[in-house]
Amino acid sequence: VILVDDGSPDNAGEICDQLADMDSRIVSIHQTNQGVMAARKRGVEASVGDYVCFVDADDCIKEDALASMCSYMQENVDVVVFESEVNDCYNRIEYANALLKFRYWNLWGKLFRRELLDDYVMSVPRQFKVGEDFLCNLRMLSRISRTVVTKPIRKYIYNENNPKSVQKNHIYDYEYERMMIIEVKDTLENNDFFNEIKPSFLRWETCYLVGMIGYRYNVDYEEKWIKDFLKDCKGQKLGFRCVLVKIAIRYKAFRWLFVLEKSLKAIARKVLK
């Protein structure tokens, strides 16, 4: 067990040291605050086993979690995914398509072959404080050669009551979303299988654009990445929603369709609560 104290402002570092003194299997590492990905990278560098499992600072796992995950790590498996909705097995292309459908984004709840987690995979820029798990998974695709197994088994205990969590305190804006889209495309384009997953990427990009338009971000529709999106969509069968987005990019009046959609969804959520 490798505990990384990433410049914690409380007494977490002392607790890590106390636990390491109590059990030789526990390693305590301290560093100045560099962010969650840097902490994970430091932990991977200190690891010596064949497999790695991440647990976020405010969460926990059931005591048989690792034994259960390891039981599915066969010779033909690179990643074991728990907390899934389905019992399935993916090759690299299928797993990439699943990621681009907003599934399996987290790094927690998974068991990885350590060889997948090289310096490139673990060096997601710190500016991505939300979605860094997703970017890490996308970088990992180039390393996956075996299968990814998903299981509807619950062994991870996610803490939803932390008011200081990054997810709850992150402020989304146009610049951050734009930066994410460009980073995802740059990451995927570096792979020789990009053309096979390009339709899924464009649908994913469409979803982001729908959000930007719907939340009335100050989008610059003359930017290169939007022009590239329109160009990439040519000849692709992407569905009616993508057609509407392409029209909304060109004609301002159509953007109100997505603004209305977001407003209605917000009202529906309040009613359901």
Q: Give per-residue pLDDT as tens, 241-259.
A: 999 999 999 999 999 999 9
Mean pLDDT of the chain, nearest integer: 94
pLDDT at 133 over 90: yes
| Rg of the chain (C-alpha set) | 21
Model confidence at 172: pLDDT above 80:
no
| Strands (E) located in 53-174 | 60-61, 77-81, 88-90, 110-113, 147-150, 156-157
Q: Which residues contact 169 (CB under 8 A, 6 or more apart)?
A: none
Kindly state the greatest CA–CA separation across the chain: 66
**Which residue, among 117, 116, 104, has the nearest Cα to 151 in the 3D structure?**
104
Which of 127, 151, 143 is CA-nearest to residue 193?
Answer: 143
pLDDT value for 165: 63
Q: How confident is the model at residue 273 (pLDDT cuts 50, 70, 90)?
A: confident
DSSP E strands, the chain: 2-6, 27-31, 51-52, 60-61, 77-81, 88-90, 110-113, 147-150, 156-157
β-pair type (147-150, 77-81): parallel
Count the residues in the chain: 273
